[in-house]
């Protein structure tokens, strides 16, 4: 019997194997199609992707062109600047020193640095790491480093500036604090912070292609940098095609931004971190990934997605699939999903490519409920509305919304959120459903010019020019400065 069972099992497994393989290939192919479409939409020349599950890189792929001038295709060895993701490496470095008993994150920075302004002396390492310190920033209004990039001059100038706000009052992204952290690492480790991070992180994690550098350095297989913005007559304008970008990071500034790497190397770094090779104690990682709490009891971050900031790590603080999500230069991002066995690294060579905006959608190919089309990321009230619409039909949007409001005190539909969902549905090629949502928005917010404008836009797209004209006129009446509505009224009136 055992022999027969074994043979049966092996036969069954052999029949299932191609199915599992096909499913995996289907997922992989779907992701590749999604990535290529995103690259086309955003004009991203080159992109690298790494997906990590069960502490293994299960997908590693490169797309596009790293060098537009010479038409050099991206490979898995192409090296990308990860910009401010460098700060996450600094967070790990600080926690390594904490594990060695050389510092505490609750210590004031004045314990380790001399000649600080009085207003700086009580600021803690944790407050510096999380950008709630209130320190004046070392970057000027044009985002140039003070003192022409000379460390001594930069420190003199920034120390002469007033505090920007009371420590802990708000989140404000700040480079000065990370320069100070570099000085502390130099002092406590006995080596320059770049060397410390190379020895204690790059080498330990097997990041063989990773290094510190900038646009000036000659880096083999560099993916370079491109931008869609162009300086014209003293003003930056958005161009239609990418142009070459250039940025330098002085050595003392490279705790703020300065690492160049590959998606594969960053994936290996994530694995080393999770396996305890970089930090020995899980409590160290928990501390490092805990977002700062402001004086008002809330967390603060870059935007609605990366809405908190921990020790060098932006956080995606939410109930469903929370994550830590370092981002760099608007061009690179990595998300480690805290309740899921999934991490995703996306590196690009376009400043403004903003891969953090579509990493969740990549995650949806592994965790289906994270797909935008399945309602992931929608505000709670819109999720409730969506559930009702899927059961009863989108043509009953007004009555369903009214019923939810009547029986649920927490139910509230915000104009901008509803409008955004309408455009999501439109992008998902669901124009009928989108029309229902835009129409509902005009009912809920009858004094908003924007709701009528959006509704009219989709009516026009669906060839309902008569109703589109009516709603453009309503929008224009509420906002006579709406030039777009005026143009559409003129065009539709002629036809």
Burial class (CB in 10 A: 0-12, 13-18, 19+), 480: exposed
CA nearest neighbour of 348 among 139, 66, 72:
66
Task: Calculate the CA 436 to chain-centre distance.
Answer: 31
Q: Are 360 and 93 in contact (CB under 8 A)?
A: no
Same domain as 277, residue 304 = yes
The arithmetic mean of pLDDT across residues 253-273, rounded, is 96
Question: Which tens digits make up the pLDDT trace of 172-224?
Answer: 999 999 999 999 999 999 999 999 999 999 999 999 999 999 888 888 999 99
pLDDT at position 22 is 44
Same domain as 383, residue 366 = no
The arithmetic mean of pLDDT across residues 49-70, rounded, is 96
Same domain as 361, residue 436 = no
The angle subtended at Cα 258 by Cα 257 and Cα 259, nearest 5°, is 115
pLDDT at position 246 is 83
Q: State the pairing for strand pair 350-351/226-232.
A: parallel
pLDDT at position 4 is 40
Same domain as 390, residue 360 = no
Same domain as 268, residue 202 = yes
CA nearest neighbour of 370 among 379, 359, 381:
359
Residue 5 pLDDT greater than 60, yes or no:
no
> Which carries the bigger pLDDT value, residue 242 or residue 274?
274
Instruction: Give domain status of residue 21, yes or no.
Output: no
pLDDT at position 447 is 96
Question: Which tens digits make up the pLDDT trace of 389-407?
Answer: 999 999 999 999 999 999 9
The arithmetic mean of pLDDT across residues 216-235, rounded, is 85
| Confidence label for 37 from pLDDT (cuts 50, 70 and 90) | very high
pLDDT at position 280 is 96
If phi over 0 gives left and psi between -120 and 50 gives alpha, with beta otherwise, what is residue 410? Answer: alpha
Instruction: Give domain status of residue 74, yes or no.
Output: no
The arithmetic mean of pLDDT across residues 432-447, rounded, is 96
Of 370, 393, 410, the residue that ends a domain is 370
Question: Which tens digits make up the pLDDT trace of 81-123?
Answer: 999 999 999 999 999 999 999 999 999 999 999 999 999 999 9
Same domain as 276, residue 425 = no
Of 370, 401, 434, the residue that ends a domain is 370
Residue 234 pLDDT greater than 80, yes or no:
no
* CB neighbours of residue 478 within 10 Å: 17
CA nearest neighbour of 129 among 66, 194, 188, 173:
173
Task: Calculate the CA 25 to chain-centre distance.
Answer: 27
Q: How far apart are CA 136 and CA 199, in angstroms?
A: 31
CATH code of residue 349:
3.40.710.10
pLDDT at position 114 is 94
3-state secondary structure the chain: CHHHHHHHHHHHHHHHHHHHHHHHHHHHHHHHHHHHHHHHHHCCCEEEEEEEECCEEEEEEEEEEEECCCCEECCCCCEEEEECCHHHHHHHHHHHHHHCCCCCCCCEHHHCCCCCCHHHCCCEHHHHHCCCCCCCCCECCCCCEHHHHCHHHHHHHHHCCCCCCCCCCCCCCCCHHHHHHHHHHHHHHCCCHHHHHHHHHHHHHCCCCCEECCCCCCCCCECCCEEEEEEECCEEEEEEEEEECCCCCCHHHCCCCCEEECHHHHHHHHHHHHCCCCCCCHHHHHHHCCCCCCCCCCCCCCCCCCCEECCCCEEECCCCCCEECCEECCCEEEEEECCCCEEEEEEECEECCCHHHCHHHHHCCCCHHHCHHHCCCCCHHHHHHHHHHHHHCHHHHHHHHHHHHHHCCCCCCCHHHHHHHHHHHHHCCCHHHHHHHHHHHHHHCCCCHHHHHHHHHHHHHCCCHHHHHHHHHHHHHHCCCCHHHHHHHHHHHHC
Residue 302 pLDDT greater than 60, yes or no:
yes
The arithmetic mean of pLDDT across residues 425-430, rounded, is 92
3-state secondary structure 31-45: HHHHHHHHHHHHCCC
Same domain as 357, residue 331 = yes
| Confidence label for 288 from pLDDT (cuts 50, 70 and 90) | very high
Q: Are 38 and 58 in contact (CB under 8 A)?
A: no
| Confidence label for 10 from pLDDT (cuts 50, 70 and 90) | very low
User: What's the structural domain count of the chain?
Assistant: 2
| Confidence label for 240 from pLDDT (cuts 50, 70 and 90) | confident
| Confidence label for 354 from pLDDT (cuts 50, 70 and 90) | very high
Q: Are 253 and 288 in contact (CB under 8 A)?
A: no
Instruction: Give domain status of residue 304, yes or no.
Output: yes
Residue 286 pLDDT greater than 50, yes or no:
yes
Angle between the 415-427 and 431-444 helix axes, to the nearest 10 degrees?
A: 170
Residue 400 DSSP SS3: helix
DSSP string, 233-271: TTEEEEEEEEEE------GGGTTTS-EEE-HHHHHHHHH
pLDDT at position 23 is 44
pTM for this predicted structure: 0.86
DSSP string, 300-312: --SSSSS-EE-SS
pLDDT at position 495 is 63
| Confidence label for 27 from pLDDT (cuts 50, 70 and 90) | low
| Confidence label for 377 from pLDDT (cuts 50, 70 and 90) | confident
pLDDT at position 248 is 84
Residue 26 pLDDT greater than 60, yes or no:
no
Same domain as 345, residue 200 = yes
Question: Which tens digits make up the pLDDT trace of 309-331?
Answer: 999 999 999 999 999 999 999 99
User: How high does pLDDT run on average in the chain?
Assistant: 92
The arithmetic mean of pLDDT across residues 337-346, rounded, is 97
Task: Report the share of the chain in percent with pLDDT over 90.
Answer: 83
Of 347, 370, 393, the residue that ends a domain is 370
pLDDT at position 2 is 43
The arithmetic mean of pLDDT across residues 51-64, rounded, is 97
Residue 263 pLDDT greater than 80, yes or no:
yes
CA nearest neighbour of 450 among 427, 419, 408:
419
The arithmetic mean of pLDDT across residues 364-369, rounded, is 94
Instruction: Give domain status of residue 417, yes or no.
Output: yes
Instruction: Give domain status of residue 291, yes or no.
Output: yes
Q: How far apart are CA 351 and CA 494, in angstroms?
A: 42
pLDDT at position 17 is 44
CATH code of residue 403:
1.25.40.10
* CB neighbours of residue 456 within 10 Å: 29
Instruction: Give domain status of residue 442, yes or no.
Output: yes
Same domain as 298, residue 275 = yes
Instruction: Give domain status of residue 266, yes or no.
Output: yes
Same domain as 433, residue 314 = no
| Confidence label for 12 from pLDDT (cuts 50, 70 and 90) | very low
Residue 243 pLDDT greater than 90, yes or no:
no
Lowest mean pLDDT among 46-55, 179-188, 454-463, 486-495: 486-495
Same domain as 318, residue 202 = yes
pLDDT at position 25 is 55
CA nearest neighbour of 200 among 214, 178, 187, 185:
185
Instruction: Give domain status of residue 25, yes or no.
Output: no
| Confidence label for 168 from pLDDT (cuts 50, 70 and 90) | very high
Look up tokens 């599950």; give the residue: 53
Same domain as 489, residue 453 = yes
**What is the domain extent for residue 182?**
83-370
> What separation, in Å, do the N-terminal and C-terminal C-alpha atoms of the chain show?
81
């Amino acid at each position: 019997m055992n022999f027969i069972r074994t043979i049966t099992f092996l036969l069954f497994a052999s029949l299932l194997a191609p199915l599992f393989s096909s499913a995996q290939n289907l997922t992989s192919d779907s992701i590749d199609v999604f990535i290529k479409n995103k690259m086309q939409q955003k004009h991203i020349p080159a992109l690298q992707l790494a997906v990590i599950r069960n502490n293994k890189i299960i997908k590693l792929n490169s797309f596009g062109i790293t060098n537009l001038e010479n038409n050099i295709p991206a490979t898995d060895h192409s090296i990308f600047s990860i910009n401010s993701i460098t700060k996450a490496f600094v967070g790990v470095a600080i926690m390594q020193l904490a594990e060695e008993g050389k510092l505490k994150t609750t210590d004031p920075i004045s314990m380790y640095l001399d000649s600080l302004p009085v207003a700086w002396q009580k600021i803690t390492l944790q407050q510096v790491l999380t950008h709630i310190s209130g320190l004046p920033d070392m970057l000027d209004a044009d985002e140039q480093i003070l003192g022409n990039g000379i460390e001594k001059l930069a420190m003199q100038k920034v120390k002469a500036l007033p505090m920007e706000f009371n420590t802990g009052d708000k989140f404000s992204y700040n480079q000065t604090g990370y320069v100070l952290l570099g000085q502390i690492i130099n002092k406590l480790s006995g080596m320059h912070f770049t060397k410390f991070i190379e020895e204690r992180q790059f080498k330990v994690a097997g990041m063989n292609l990773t290094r510190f550098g900038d646009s000036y350095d000659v880096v083999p297989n560099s993916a370079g940098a491109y931008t869609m913005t162009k300086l014209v007559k003293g003003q930056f304008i958005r161009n239609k095609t990418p142009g070459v970008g250039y940025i330098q990071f002085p050595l003392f500034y490279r705790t703020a931004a300065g690492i160049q790497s590959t998606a594969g190397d960053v994936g290996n770094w994530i694995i080393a971190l999770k396996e305890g090779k970089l930090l020995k104690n899980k409590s160290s990682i928990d501390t490092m990934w805990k977002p700062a709490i402001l004086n008002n009891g809330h967390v603060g971050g870059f935007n609605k997605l990366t809405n908190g900031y921990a020790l060098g790590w932006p956080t995606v603080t939410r109930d469903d699939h929370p994550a830590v999500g370092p981002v760099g230069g608007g061009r690179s991002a990595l998300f480690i999903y805290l309740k899921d066995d999934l991490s995703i690294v996306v590196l690009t060579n376009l400043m403004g490519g903003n891969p953090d905006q579509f990493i969740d959608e990549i995650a949806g190919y592994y965790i289906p409920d994270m797909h935008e089309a399945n309602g992931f990321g929608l505000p709670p009230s819109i999720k409730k509305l969506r559930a009702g619409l899927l059961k009863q039909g989108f043509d009953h949007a007004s009555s369903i919304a009214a019923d939810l409001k009547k029986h649920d005190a927490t139910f509230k539909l915000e104009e901008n959120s509803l409008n955004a969902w309408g455009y999501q549905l439109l992008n998902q090629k669901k124009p009928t459903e989108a029309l229902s949502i835009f129409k509902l928005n005009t009912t809920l917010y009858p004094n908003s010019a924007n709701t009528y404008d959006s509704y009219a836009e989709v009516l026009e797209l669906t060839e309902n020019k008569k109703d589109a004209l009516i709603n453009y006129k309503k929008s224009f009446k509420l906002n006579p400065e709406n030039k777009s509505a005026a143009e559409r009224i003129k065009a539709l009136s002629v036809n």
